[in-house]
């Protein structure tokens, strides 16, 4: 009997619920929310915020607080997935109130991150489709030829994130010649940038690559473990920019706070004390930041301003790019910075003078090329002296003579008479070249410009080499 009553009760209740008067019943139609793909841009190393909900308007009204990252985790217990860590890329987070997605890139991210997805709900709790968020890194560097040189280094936007970290922004390519110039033991970071769609051309293995109008070469000079704070101190950034009328120089001197560098062509001196790799302190008391006039002494070929380091002979080697170690010339071609159509397959290249596995004479030739040849060459400031230190001049049958071996010294006034040969085989103490690289006397020292300290390692290299030379005939 009870069973029957229950059924009837249910039926009664149901009909009570459902069978309202025909006049009161309306059908409710439920619309679903629609998530739309989002696209954004970001500058390398900077945080990006994408308001993903704002374009999700084609369906039911969405609740921004319900944005949920596909594959993410719920860190705040509100049922939305609000954080996703992508190795190599960075961290995506969703704002629990506004639904805005923030992307914080990793310090080493030099490309665009992999796109992620999200969903969003309407007030009814319906979940939308999955939509993508695609963020693309954009280049920031700006070199307006009608405005340069800019008053501040940051104006160029050559660097991403905090400028003193020296991370290049998109399309600013790091570079390093195989043997480097000695500048009072300063470290260097070098970069090149070209306007989009332009490229450099090959002009001969011993001549600098011909860069397009608008190109910029950037060189930071810095020391690590600088006292008293034991931090890195960037001293200066030297920039060359190619205008239609030729190369110009732009020198930037960094402030003590390391937040900015300011255009200054007047030249100045500074002093640096730092702790070397072996733990001992060292001071450069009179580091010279060059004036415009001094730039031009070295950076010229036949009296026309020119870069020095970017010769193919110096770039035909592997550099540890972010994308992996790769030959620099190949990298330039790959990123569209170099027309590789006439690059010879067999190039004589300089070696790293510090590489003891390389032949001593090649190390010496490379050292002399990068430290001396810009003045001591046919087209350089001091062409009237017989030395020809360009790498391409020191490897042939006349190479030793071009390096001054057994050649009489011309400029003898004031020097000890024992220095009558530029290089005296086997006898560094009777070699003028050795004497002049091994002194700080400002009227004797070689190079005349660009150093105030003796490069003991370079001097040792030259001395070792002199000891191996055959006597003069």
Which residues contribute to the site for other proteins (CB under 8 A)?
266-267, 269, 291, 293-294, 296-297, 300, 303, 381-386, 410-414, 418, 426-427, 429-430, 438, 441-443, 456, 459, 467, 471
Kindly tell me which of 392 and 409 has the beta carbon lying closer to other proteins: 409
Kindly tell me which of 162 and 412 has the beta carbon lying closer to other proteins: 412
Kindly tell me which of 230 and 429 has the beta carbon lying closer to other proteins: 429
**CA gap 202, 386 in Å, rounded:** 28
For residue 363, the minimal CB distance to other proteins (Å) is: 20
For residue 296, the minimal CB distance to other proteins (Å) is: 7
> Quick one: CA dihedral 228, 271, 366, 201, positive or negative?
positive
For residue 458, the minimal CB distance to other proteins (Å) is: 13
For residue 434, the minimal CB distance to other proteins (Å) is: 10
**CA gap 362, 182 in Å, rounded:** 17
Q: Which two tokens stand for residue 59?
A: 């369906």
Residue with tokens 């999200």: 118
Residue with tokens 């070209």: 194
Among 181, 204, 208, 203, residue whose Cα is nearest residue 192: 208
Kindly tell me which of 266 and 318 has the beta carbon lying closer to other proteins: 266
Kindly tell me which of 29 and 442 has the beta carbon lying closer to other proteins: 442
Rounded to 5°, the CA angle 255-261-266 comes to 95
For residue 410, the minimal CB distance to other proteins (Å) is: 5
**CA gap 57, 318 in Å, rounded:** 51
Specify whether the CB–CB gap between 36 and 55 falls below 8 A: yes
For residue 278, the minimal CB distance to other proteins (Å) is: 18
Residue with tokens 């220095």: 419
For residue 423, the minimal CB distance to other proteins (Å) is: 14
Kindly tell me which of 86 and 382 has the beta carbon lying closer to other proteins: 382
Among 126, 424, 453, residue whose Cα is nearest residue 273: 453
Among 265, 240, 241, residue whose Cα is nearest residue 252: 265
Specify whether the CB–CB gap between 189 and 195 falls below 8 A: no
Specify whether the CB–CB gap between 90 and 106 falls below 8 A: yes
Specify whether the CB–CB gap between 303 and 297 falls below 8 A: no
Kindly tell me which of 229 and 443 has the beta carbon lying closer to other proteins: 443
């Amino acid at each position: 009997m009870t069973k029957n009553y229950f059924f009837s009760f249910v039926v009664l209740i149901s009909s009570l619920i459902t069978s309202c008067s025909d006049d009161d019943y309306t059908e409710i139609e439920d619309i679903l929310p629609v998530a739309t793909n989002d696209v954004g841009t970001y500058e390398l190393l900077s945080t990006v915020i994408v308001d993903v909900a704002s374009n999700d308007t084609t369906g039911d009204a969405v609740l921004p607080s319900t944005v949920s990252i596909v594959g993410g985790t719920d860190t705040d217990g509100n049922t939305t997935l609000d954080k996703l860590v992508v190795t190599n890329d960075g961290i995506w987070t969703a704002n629990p109130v506004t639904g805005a997605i923030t992307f914080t890139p990793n310090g080493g991210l030099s490309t665009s991150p992999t796109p992620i997805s999200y969903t969003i709900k309407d007030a009814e709790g319906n979940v939308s489709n999955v939509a993508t968020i695609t963020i693309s890194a954009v280049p920031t560097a700006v070199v307006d030829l009608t405005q340069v040189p800019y008053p501040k280094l940051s104006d160029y936007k050559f660097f991403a994130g905090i400028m003193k970290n020296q991370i290049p922004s998109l399309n600013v390519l790091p570079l390093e010649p195989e043997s480097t110039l000695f500048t009072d033991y300063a470290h260097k970071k070098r970069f090149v940038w070209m306007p989009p769609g332009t490229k450099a051309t090959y002009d001969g293995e011993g001549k600098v690559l011909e860069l397009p109008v608008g190109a910029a070469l950037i060189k930071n000079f810095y020391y690590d473990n600088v006292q008293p704070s034991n931090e890195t101190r960037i001293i200066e950034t030297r920039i060359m920019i190619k205008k239609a009328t030729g190369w110009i120089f732009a020198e930037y001197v960094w402030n003590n706070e390391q937040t900015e560098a300011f255009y200054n062509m007047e030249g100045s001196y500074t002093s640096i004390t730092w702790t070397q790799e072996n733990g001992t302190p060292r001071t450069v008391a009179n580091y010279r930041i060059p004036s415009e006039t001094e730039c031009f002494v070295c950076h010229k070929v036949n009296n026309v301003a020119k870069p020095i380091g970017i010769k193919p002979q110096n770039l035909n080697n592997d550099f540890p790019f972010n994308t992996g170690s790769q030959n620099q010339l190949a990298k330039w071609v790959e990123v569209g910075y170099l027309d590789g159509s006439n690059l010879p397959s067999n190039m004589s290249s300089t070696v790293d003078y510090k590489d003891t596995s390389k032949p001593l004479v090649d190390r010496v030739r490379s050292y002399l090329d990068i430290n001396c040849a810009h003045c001591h060459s046919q087209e350089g400031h001091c062409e009237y002296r017989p030395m020809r230190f360009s790498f391409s001049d020191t490897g042939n049958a006349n190479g030793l003579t071009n390096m001054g071996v057994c050649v009489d010294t011309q400029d003898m006034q004031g020097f000890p008479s024992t220095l009558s040969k530029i290089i005296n085989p086997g006898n560094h103490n009777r070699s003028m070249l050795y004497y002049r690289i091994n002194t700080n006397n400002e009227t004797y020292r070689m190079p005349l410009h660009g150093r105030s300290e003796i490069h003991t390692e370079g001097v040792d290299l030259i001395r070792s080499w002199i000891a191996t030379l055959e006597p003069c005939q």
